[in-house]
Structure 1
Amino acid sequence: MCTSFTLHAKDESYMLSRTMDFSIEMAKTVTYIPQNFHLIHDYSSSEMYQTKYAYVGMGALEDHCNIVFDGVNEQGLTAATLYFVNYANYADPQTVTTAVKVAPDMVVGYTLGNYASVNEVKTAFEQNQIQIVDEKNPTLGITPPLHYIFMDKTGATIVVEVMKDGVHVYDDTVGVMTNSPDYPWHENNLNNYLTVTPKQHEPVNWLGKELHPMSQGSGNFGLPGDFTPVARFVRAAYLKNFMPQADDEYGNLIKAENILKSVNVAKGAVVTETDAQDFSCYRSFMSATSQTYYFATYNNQRVRKINLQSLTDLTEPKIFAVDNHEDILDITNN
């Protein structure tokens, strides 16, 4: 589970936002990776690549293995990975001979470290320069089924999904992504909600009786309220479409926060087949314009930020511990 979307403000600032919904805590550290740092790109080989661009994102660094779930690089490329169960299908590592083999959970770090724009990412996938391979994450014990959303500082956005029939790169999207099924299904499903509107319904006459809305929000009737990927996609798309366009980056952040509140998963609301509780571990907001990484966590709703441009002089990685204790401002004596 996860929800993501892009936003565009009046001053031409762009932001990619997401929730990270999972049954284990994922918000432990934010990692800064500098230029010219060596990282592995898969689990089955010892080959390393050297990063071209510095980036920052939520995730961990251990022994030159950087697993980040989302982030932004110094060129303004942003990326996020979300669960794609029952649909994701990757190549056997043994069959990949020419492309760079990338483990599913290393794709975000690899792309942020190597590419400056969505067009470069698109070319890399479409021309088979990189190939996502079927490799288990050692901690999870499974190959994580994932798909990806990318946006750059021009607002260009793509969704990348690797399935049994190959690699699919979707552009000209609505800028929303959740989980299974595939992206085209979700976009087509929006046709079922043509009558959903923020405006009140007008009174009508039935059988000689005037019927009128019971209260505000009658136009929203039919908007799905559950936590399935389908429902969260529709809610995020609805709010992204009808909320007023923000003036600037700060406005994008406020708008994104309020959209994510509609899809935030509380503990106990979703219980998995193994009796684990999925919940929204954290929310992140990546500014492609200022290269700032904002985030808030389930247990600490205070929004924190890390500005990448303030870190680029560093030649070694930097790890930021995530404080998951609620930061409450006491204004009693103000």
Structure 2
Amino acid sequence: MCTAATYRTKDFYFGRTLDYEFSYGEEITVTPRNYPFSFRYLPEKRKHYAIIGMAHVEEDYPLYYDAVNEKGLGMAGLNFVGNAVYGEVREGKENVAVFELIPYILSQCENAEEARELLGKIQITDTRFKEQLPNGRLHWIIADEKEAITVESGTEGLKIYENAPGVLTNNPPFPMQMFQLNNYMQLSSRQPENLFSDQLSLETYSRGMGALGLPGDLSSASRFVRVAFTKLHARSGEGEADSVGQFFHILGSVEQTRGCCELENGKYEITIYTSCCNATKGIYYYTTYTNRQITAVDMHREKLDGTELIRYPMLEEEQIRLQNA
């Protein structure tokens, strides 16, 4: 499964974990402004905002998992199996296939408000990129430096929710995720007071006891609570290294370790990669399960007025620095 989060210091940061049992060969992909974006039911876009993110590229088309555009708007799709329902093609709507929703939004929206307005005109369809590639059952987080929203397409149509914590995982639906935070309102980063009874002399015996009860399991509901608590209490310096490092610590609180989440086919879910994009500057940072070193791709070092995709495979071999070499 997956977890996404936003973070704000001097700049705005957006990223996610991708938790799954295998990889589709995803790459850090820059789509320049003049790449011809084709859509199944809508006119081709030959001029648009440049985009950087993680994508599986199929037939020279970027199937983005998460990305930001040059204006600082970020978007990520996360599994929403059992709840996601896509519609049929409808007249009077801008029909957008689920696989092209991220490029459709990021190619033309500067901020979350513009994305919200555009989503009001959209019908998300279950059209496949090609028959051999079934669509994921997804919901999405869209965020800029000022706000975040969650987008879910279900049996009742397309719903857009304000996302105050700036966090998204998987099931259950977003309103239920938010409601369960009421169960944890007593958690604190500070040491607790004895409210159990004034007749008993109870004392703290360890640091961090204000967060007793914070869920630690791997379910998406628990990861939502844990990363929301971690993100909302996280503090870092304003510098790039401090901010990026802190963001990876936030998502590190919900990373999946091989062996801890066994699947029916005998495989294990792991955190294949973790991303952190400085959406303000267009720099995409990432780590992988087998390479803990932070690697970066800066979109503004590329020719953003070009017409062809720019692709970088993930560096997955562990890189260890021997200090006393």
TM-score, length basis structure 1:
0.89
Pair 1:7–1:246, CA change in 2 (3 A): farther
Counterpart of 1:110 in 2: which secondary structure? helix
What does 1:24-39 align with in structure 2 at a 5 Å threshold?
24-26=22-24, 28-39=26-37
What does 1:223-242 align with in structure 2 at a 5 Å threshold?
223-242=214-233
Pair 1:188–1:249, CA change in 2 (3 A): farther
Backbone CA RMSD of aligned residues:
2.4
Identity within the alignment, %: 29
Pair 1:204–1:143, CA change in 2 (3 A): closer
Counterpart of 2:292 in 1: which secondary structure? coil
Deviations 1:17-59 (CA, angstroms, capped at 9, x unpaired): 21011121256311111112123334xx797433511111111
1:88 matched residue in structure 2:
84
1:199 matched residue in structure 2:
190
Contact 1:137-1:144 within 8 A present in 2 as well: no
Pair 1:172–1:144, CA change in 2 (3 A): closer
**Which deviates further from its counterpart, 292-301 or 211-220?**
211-220
Q: Distance in 1 between matches of 2:131 and 2:214?
A: 38
Residue 146 in structure 1 maps to residue 142 in structure 2: no
Counterpart of 1:101 in 2: which secondary structure? strand
Corresponding letter in the other structure for 1:146: L
Q: Distance in 2 between matches of 1:106 and 1:269?
A: 33
Q: Distance in 1 between matches of 2:311 and 2:279?
A: 21
Query: Which of 72, 75, 80 is equivalent to 1:76?
Result: 72
Contact 1:39-1:50 within 8 A present in 2 as well: yes
TM-score, length basis structure 2:
0.91
2:5 matched residue in structure 1:
5
Deviations 1:109-134 (CA, angstroms, capped at 9, x unpaired): 222222222122111111x1x32111
Aligned-residue offset at 1:209 = 6.0
The answer for unaligned runs of 5 or more in structure 2 is: none
Counterpart of 1:114 in 2: which secondary structure? coil
The answer for unaligned runs of 5 or more in structure 1 is: none
Pair 1:199–1:227, CA change in 2 (3 A): same
2:18 matched residue in structure 1:
20
Corresponding letter in the other structure for 1:321: P
Counterpart of 1:196 in 2: which secondary structure? coil
Query: Which of 78, 92, 102 is equivalent to 1:108?
Result: 102
- Number of aligned pairs? 324
Corresponding letter in the other structure for 1:23: E
Residue 302 in structure 1 maps to residue 293 in structure 2: yes
Q: Distance in 2 between matches of 1:149 and 1:205?
A: 39
Residue 119 in structure 1 maps to residue 110 in structure 2: no
